[in-house]
Structure 1
Amino acid sequence: MAVPKKKTSKSKRDKRKATWKHKAAVEAQKALSLGKSILTGRAKSFVYPSTEEEEEES
């Protein structure tokens, strides 16, 4: 016979939610940092086509 599961405590629920939000915040910070480095021209590990090359091909 099926038995209902035990209720999850508020602390466990809140901890999972905080972990999920922290991971999202870290990824957002990485994306912002990469964007800033690309704009300043300091990005060394990110390869992207420049606008000069695209204009020459046209």
Structure 2
Amino acid sequence: MKEKNLSQKEKFEQAARDLKTDQSDAAFEAIVNKIAHAPKMTQEQIKELVRRKREAGKG
């Protein structure tokens, strides 16, 4: 199948396979579901994360 005929999901799956990160369909689906269902961060949590990253980079 030509790459331009692939959906975004199929391109992502192919890239994962090319990187050998997809050991099995079940493992891949479990990781995708874990990411998809991760809790959303509040604006304040995002700001705190950025502050910590900046401080870690300075040290």
TM-score, reference length from structure 2: 0.30
Instruction: Name the structure where helix makes up a greater proportion of residues.
Output: 2
Structure having greater relative contact order (Cα 8 Å, sep ≥ 6) = 1
Q: Which has the larger radius of gyration?
A: 1
